[in-house]
Structure 1
Amino acid sequence: MNQKTTDFVLDHPRLIFLVVLLLTLATAALIPLIQIDTDPENMLPESQSERVFHNTVKQRFNLHDMIVVGAVNGSAQGIYNPESLQALLSVANQIEQIKGVIDYDLMALSHVDNIVQEGPGTIRFEWLMKKPPQDQESADLLASYVDRLPLLNNTLVSADHKATSIYVPIADKNESHRISQDIQRIIDSVKSPDDYHITGLPVAEDTFGYQMFVQMGISAPLAGLMIFLLMWYFFKNLKFIAAPMIVAMSTVIVVMGAMIGMGYTVHIMSSMIAIFLMPIAVVDSIHIMSEFVEKYQPGANRRSVIKEVIADLFKPMLFTSITSSVGFFSLMLTPIPPVQVFGAFVGFGIILAFVLTIVFIPAYLIVLKESSLSSLQDIHHSRSRLSGAIKKLGQFSVANSWAVTAFFVVVMAISVWGIMKIQINDNPVRWFKQDHPIRVADQVLNEHFAGTYDAYLVLSSNQQDVQTDFEQQLTAVQSDRLSQWSAGADPSLGFKEQLDDWMNRAEDELFDATSDEQISQLEDLIGQLEVAQQQLAYFKSPSGLQQLIDLQQALADSGLVGKSNSLADVVRTVNRELQGGDAEQFRLPATQAGVAQTLLQYQSSHRPHDLWHFVTQDYSETVIWVQLTSGDNQDMTAVVDYLDEHIANEPVLAELDINWAGKTFLNKVWQEEMVAGMGMSLLSAFVVVFVMMVLLFRSLLFGLLAMLPLTLTISFIYGLIGWLGKDYDMPIAVLSALTLGLSVDFAIHFIQRARDLFAEHQDFAVTMKLMFAEPAAAISKNAVVIAIGFTPLLFAPLVPYITVGFFLATIMAVSALVTLMMLPAMLKILNKWTLR
């Protein structure tokens, strides 16, 4: 740092204090504006094609996010007993009264229709369970009804009759946690012999957000407390260690306040910013304080000591801060918005912590009274157990340089093998511990039902082909007439809307027509328009519905899907009852008119709107509801890949547009985006850091040496993940940025100080002896402080926090160990080309 800058800081300490205080207070005032967001959908940009399509499908088919409530009874009669069904009716009736629940779409045994034959060619729709059965015989009759209804069997009641469910549609998924709490209170108030569970992706995500907010208020203060206790152990001087704690707290407050003030929501990633920055923000302070303790003597010119310390440490601290921030800034290259925000603000926080350290710490030290520093002379690295162990480690590494190098080569090979075992997978329900009620509910209900995870397979007929065929059938006179009718019409109208408009005009003209020729022309045109309209209503035709059945069978044959429902199931169920009710009548009508008759009958039910959850009103688009017992993106990927292969082998399906939607599918999409993005960000950051190392040391060889701890640490950590069988999920992916930044930090300090000491003493042995005094002790203290700073995360109730806490502590231990063992060994082996 420029001497004039240091002089200004030392001459105006109170001005520095005032600026830091005002900046901290100003940004702290913005923190109450915090908004929490845990929706994985927001892991994708709003313009992402899959996200846009998903939301379009929800609107087009009037689909809603669902909370799943399940009741399980392990007795012999299972859920079909009067007491259980009475409780179910009471719970369902109360749930539909909750604010935010879409009552008309709620699904439970008491809120759906039974379809029965009333006479030849006629059917009757009646509430399946308007009143609970009064005896076991009535309960058994209810079971027989449900078993006959494919839309309900193994969806509302499990195939083993041990469980039943209530599907609770909600208007706003951000209200899921509140609604689930209301549901739980209802369950607690109802006497039932059953075990009730609440699950579903919306409630898992929103509950995680609530607990995440609580965790933010616990983990960061605990991390601060741990760091404070550690520094007290190292320096045993309250006033002395107050400075780095102030720097850390100010850094966290300014960064969080700035992020919230700029309108960014706090996602699962950005909720960890405080816990990431707290330990990182004190590392430079520890270097300055350790160096100051070594050089300061009672009665010495404190100003000169401070200036000497800053002059020695400024360059390595600057580069370590830049490289750390580069690691996090590289996350901005990922296509995941919350990860971009996390990377940007942690990177900014690291730079801010560096600036605050080099201005606030010297200003603080210069105003301390002499008496406040008296106890520092009792602290010397040679007397601490940690320093003694570090010295022995250094001696061992130098004396056994080839053995140490060989050991790390073996570790590298085993790590690469472990990396090849990594599986990319995530599931929001798994963000909770195994004994969490949501996790338990997910496991129990998916053991009984066909699946509580929904995905939607959306099929659209090809309107362009129909339009082309229609235009080819037109005579010149008909074409001219249509052109006249279309003149001045809205150019944005689709082909279907044009057909409707032309049909209205043709019928109007036919009504007023007088000549036989004109009547004949219009009747022919109306006939062609009707054919085109029928072709557009593709999923009202038996052939179109048969394709749905074939796709459902393919999904079932995959062994990856619990169940699927479609418009074809509605049509076949109604047709069976119209034709007599026998099992062999469960088939599609032979003609489009027959299909239309079944659909007309269905619309006389108590829930006619259910039809439009399966098909658009023009019957040109339809959706197959796919139920999965797992929300893991790995399983969703397997389903998508299996169906892609099936479609590729079925030429008839090539005429349809087939796409996926649903929250389970979106989780798969953002996971794939994250992996590709993280790989790119890590590679680019690795290259940037390597170039910076070469420039810093003005040596290609030293640049490569500085990258060794980073490379070994990243390989070891991800190899460990592969060997442990831990899924590569979002928190694991982000660890690469921290590993990259902090691992190279230790190497920079070690190499830079080693070069400086060798330049002064011109002796390798003396250099290594001095290196494993203050510099190595400072590195080890930093590693311990950061590692311990993350340990409060190990006690969090949320798995991502535990994962981050464990692996970050491991990263610090491994990177420090590699730096203090590998680098001295390599420097000795390459001594002819390095320290000369």
Structure 2
Amino acid sequence: MKRWLIDFATHYPRRVYALVLLLVLATAALIPNIHIDTDPENMLPAEDPARLFHHQVKRDFSLYDNIVVGAVSTGEAGIFTPRSLAAMHQLTEQILQLDAVVATDILALSTSDNITQEAPGTIRFEYLMKAAPQSQDQASAIGQAVSRLPLLNNTVVSGDGLAAAIYVPLHSKDDSYAVAEQIRAMTAQLDSDDTYYVTGLPVAENQFGHEMFIQMAISAPLAGVMIFALMLFFFRSVPLVVAPMLVAMATVIITMGSLIGMGYTVHIMSSMIAIFLMPIAVVDSVHIMSDFTDRYRKGDDARAVIRDVMADLFNPMLFTSITSAVGFYSLMLTPIPPVQIFGAFVGSGILLAFLISVLLVPAYVVRMAPATLDAMQAKLHGAAEDQHSSSRLGRALPRLGRVSVRAAKPIVAVALIILAFSAVGIGKIQINDNPVRWFKSDHQVRVADDVLNDHFAGTYDAWLVLSDSRALADDDTAARLDQRVAAALPGDAQAQPMLVQALAGDPQQLSALINRLDDAAFEAHSDSQLDAIDSAMAELEAVAQQSRRFLQPEVLHWMAALQGDLEQSSLVGKSNALTDIVKTVNRELRSGDDADFALPDSAAGVAQALLQFQSSHRPQDLWHFVTQDHRQGLIWLQLTSGDNQHMNRVIERVADYIEAHPLPEGLEVNWAGKAYINVIWQDAMVSGMMESLLSAFVIVFVMMTLLFRSPLYGALAMLPLSLTIAFIYGLVGWLGKDYDMPIAVLSALALGLSVDFAIHFLERTRALHQQTGRVSETLALMFEEPARAISRNAIVVALGFTPLLLAPLVPYITVGVLMASIMAVSATVTLLLLPAVLKLAARWALPELK
């Protein structure tokens, strides 16, 4: 295969051109079908239990993803002025007209009710702000009313009275960017001195998707320009440098076109495929060109020279490509679909880049005019036979080689110290992520998030769901009811199955069975049959009443106590639940005084309060906190931070509370909400990344051992990647940088590229040692062309990522910084530590040849 590929590339260059061009055109035609996806939920598989439960909760409680629009006043009177409230009223009316929003669930001052006592035992529901206030007294009265409504206070109006918010629910969160842009345009036209902000996780996610698309179109070409400039600096020949650029562009286009053509969405991870592949794809080309330009002299046969170069480099390039690909393929072991796709396509892209490099670069070289090659040779070598020695890199590398040999023991000692330093740093790593933090601190989404969470109880949602999943009756009761229903509905074949389903925990079947008995009572032909029906109905209604757990005061008291504990903890800005509705309505049913802001003493009192609330203009709000069968309740927690660490502390607080104050019998709790989903996929990512990294580490070690046919050389090859990964992640821990998705994925890149340098260094060292037979001479020669090729590759790849530092998106900046760091550290470790270890272990690794 090796000989065939080299022969094909050097003898049929036009066919190589045609083949590559055909693949590029075919895959490029698929790119316009691109679909962007930045939803963190998709970090979890569709069948993940936490994700399924989250969607089930949204359906059961009629919940939607919200955009939060906030107005902040800087005036002394705060937000409660006629002008400010008029602007809020106007904006709400405009938002109500948008097709993408759930108009009936928009939460704002003008869509909410004021709940007051009309007379003892009678409640009045009237809009807080049906029309904009005309006087300051009217505006102030709205503020006073909100302060008595727990569901609105510090949610729709800030506790300091300086800000008001509109919660805009969306039919589909995919529309969040478009809706946010429309709302921003609306706020710009308002007659108001207040400052308006738009935030919310759906906005952050879709805004990122929009800007990510732009960043893809900018960063990849900029990376290409940077790589081109660097290679031109090294090789001084525009025609020659065109070859690796063609390799890089062909690799990126074919890989991205294949991904899109196979129906995969472009997620935050896959958006980085082009940026990763652009520098990586030229690695083999740089090795080929470096060796070719060192060997070629005026008058040489270019075909013969490139064939010799390819014969020497083919095996190292093949194994480095395979090991680099393995590093990324290991990401397919993670339980996160976007990371799996990223790993699969970058790994495949690396192998594709190898194949295109060994075909296109030789084909390109043999098609170059002799005059062009001679001009290149003159620029590189000049009158001197070896002008490399006069360049900074040419002078520095031999000195570095001498230092690594002479100071072998101190270098190894320093490496061990760095390893210990890194181990401590790794222990300090904090796993955390937040989509809003994907933007720079001065981005409008980030600014809005900071401002509104400073004023309000929180724009991040977490839902604590309490469920009663018990059967509705024990075995004895079930047997008795079975007899009663059989006697009441003789010959009704559907009655018994309905009873079984009802008692298994299906209240809808229970209600249907009671209605069936009620209908049968009108058709009863005897008093005995009517008595049987009445008896069965009475027992079933008793069961139905007992099943409505969230009408029971003891359950609501437990919920209220938990809410109080959470709010005292300062972890939760505010909680909203059925308890707040019941307390508010109960207060107005009694005296209207704050002293009666309490839960009723009986289930009947709770039921009366809920029945009264259903007469309001927003009766549907009730079903956001309790299901219609009253067997599930939801506590809406408002958090001022979307960080995973913050959500984890909330989860721990609830767990500690439940341990100290056990749940009412038969209830169980589960979590849902976007803040919780982020925690789940982060945990999956960390465990998955650790598993994939360890698996890849073992696989690469086995491959190195097989490649070099020596466990010793296999272990030596692992040194640069081991120290690089440890140092980079140790540094992350010491600097206090959160361990997020981009940082986690870069471990695969560190593994692949670090072992790339090690393979080339060790393979060339062994080949040179066969010629020289002496350790010192071998290592001296290694710091000529081989070290130059490794250094050039490190510089090209590292600086190829520097355009990412100009990105407005933090994950891209993180990748740029860490990529440059990984390349610098891995190249330094390869050129310093490996020679030092080889010198100390020369007796076994490089024995003197006689």
Pair 1:446-2:446 in alignment: no
Q: Which residue of 2 aligns with 1:78?
A: 78
CA distance in 1, matches of 2:475, 2:631: 16
Pair 1:391-2:398 in alignment: yes
Q: Which residue of 1 aligns with 2:572?
A: 561
The answer (yes or no) to whether the contact 2:223–2:800 under 8 Å persists in 1 is yes
Deviation at 1:158, TM superposition (A): 0.9
Deviation at 1:55, TM superposition (A): 0.8
1:224 maps to amino acid: G
1:281 maps to amino acid: A
The answer (yes or no) to whether the contact 2:484–2:536 under 8 Å persists in 1 is no
Normalising by the residue count of structure 1, what TM-score does the alignment of the two structures yield? 0.98
Deviates more, 1:615-624 or 1:276-285: 615-624
2:33 maps to amino acid: L
Deviation at 1:479, TM superposition (A): 5.8
Q: Which residue of 2 aligns with 1:197?
A: 197
The answer (yes or no) to whether the contact 1:98–1:182 under 8 Å persists in 2 is no
Q: Which residue of 1 aligns with 2:763?
A: 752
Deviation at 1:515, TM superposition (A): 4.2
The answer (yes or no) to whether the contact 2:458–2:640 under 8 Å persists in 1 is yes
The answer (yes or no) to whether the contact 1:466–1:535 under 8 Å persists in 2 is no
Deviation at 1:478, TM superposition (A): 4.7
Q: Which residue of 2 aligns with 1:208?
A: 208
Q: Which residue of 2 aligns with 1:406?
A: 413
2:770 alignment partner, SS class: helix
The answer (yes or no) to whether the contact 1:460–1:620 under 8 Å persists in 2 is yes
Pair 1:367-2:367 in alignment: yes
Deviates more, 1:267-276 or 1:83-92: 83-92
1:751 maps to amino acid: L
Q: Aligned runs of 1:108-123 on 2, under 5 Å?
A: 108-123=108-123
2:321 alignment partner, SS class: helix
The answer (yes or no) to whether the contact 1:133–1:139 under 8 Å persists in 2 is yes
Q: Aligned runs of 1:101-500 on 2, under 5 Å?
A: 101-377=101-377, 378-379=379-380, 380-464=387-471, 466=473, 468=475, 470-471=477-478, 473-474=480-481, 476=483, 478=485, 485=492, 487=494, 489=497, 495-500=506-511
Check 1:715–1:480 CA distance in 2 against 1; reply closer, same or farther (3 A cut).
farther
Check 1:132–1:43 CA distance in 2 against 1; reply closer, same or farther (3 A cut).
same
CA distance in 2, matches of 1:325, 1:823: 23
Check 1:683–1:475 CA distance in 2 against 1; reply closer, same or farther (3 A cut).
closer
CA distance in 2, matches of 1:529, 1:486: 18
Normalising by the residue count of structure 2, what TM-score does the alignment of the two structures yield? 0.96
Pair 1:638-2:645 in alignment: no
Of 570, 593, 598 in structure 2, the residue corresponding to residue 587 of structure 1 is 598
2:564 maps to amino acid: Q
1:528 maps to amino acid: E
Check 1:482–1:362 CA distance in 2 against 1; reply closer, same or farther (3 A cut).
farther
Deviation at 1:678, TM superposition (A): 0.4
Deviates more, 1:48-57 or 1:68-77: 68-77
- Per-residue deviation, residues 521-558 of structure 1 (Å, max 9, x unmatched): 33222111011111222112222322321221232233
CA distance in 2, matches of 1:484, 1:658: 41
CA distance in 1, matches of 2:814, 2:453: 25
Deviates more, 1:236-245 or 1:367-376: 367-376
2:417 maps to amino acid: V
Check 1:392–1:118 CA distance in 2 against 1; reply closer, same or farther (3 A cut).
same
2:844 alignment partner, SS class: coil
CA distance in 1, matches of 2:85, 2:777: 83
Of 796, 803, 812 in structure 1, the residue corresponding to residue 814 of structure 2 is 803
2:458 alignment partner, SS class: coil
CA distance in 2, matches of 1:647, 1:524: 40
- Per-residue deviation, residues 197-218 of structure 1 (Å, max 9, x unmatched): 1100000000000000000000
- Per-residue deviation, residues 401-454 of structure 1 (Å, max 9, x unmatched): 111111111111111111111100000000000000110111111111111001
CA distance in 2, matches of 1:635, 1:699: 49
Deviation at 1:465, TM superposition (A): 5.1
Q: Which residue of 2 aligns with 1:660?
A: 671
Structure 2 portions without partners, runs of 5+? 381-386
The answer (yes or no) to whether the contact 2:37–2:266 under 8 Å persists in 1 is yes
2:809 maps to amino acid: L
Q: Which residue of 2 aligns with 1:21?
A: 21
1:463 alignment partner, SS class: coil
The answer (yes or no) to whether the contact 1:542–1:592 under 8 Å persists in 2 is yes
2:432 maps to amino acid: N
1:95 alignment partner, SS class: helix
1:651 maps to amino acid: P
2:117 alignment partner, SS class: strand
Check 1:88–1:505 CA distance in 2 against 1; reply closer, same or farther (3 A cut).
closer
1:653 alignment partner, SS class: coil
- Indicate the RMSD between aligned Cα atoms, in angstroms: 1.6
CA distance in 1, matches of 2:461, 2:492: 45
Check 1:366–1:805 CA distance in 2 against 1; reply closer, same or farther (3 A cut).
same
Pair 1:519-2:526 in alignment: no
Deviation at 1:264, TM superposition (A): 0.2
Deviation at 1:385, TM superposition (A): 1.0
CA distance in 2, matches of 1:564, 1:148: 15
CA distance in 1, matches of 2:477, 2:141: 52
The answer (yes or no) to whether the contact 1:445–1:452 under 8 Å persists in 2 is yes
- Per-residue deviation, residues 497-526 of structure 1 (Å, max 9, x unmatched): 332232123223333335444333332221
CA distance in 1, matches of 2:661, 2:67: 36
Q: Which residue of 2 aligns with 1:819?
A: 830
Q: Which residue of 1 aligns with 2:383?
A: none
Structure 1 portions without partners, runs of 5+? none
Deviation at 1:328, TM superposition (A): 0.3
Check 1:485–1:462 CA distance in 2 against 1; reply closer, same or farther (3 A cut).
farther
1:126 alignment partner, SS class: strand
2:654 maps to amino acid: L
The answer (yes or no) to whether the contact 2:484–2:535 under 8 Å persists in 1 is no
Check 1:761–1:291 CA distance in 2 against 1; reply closer, same or farther (3 A cut).
same
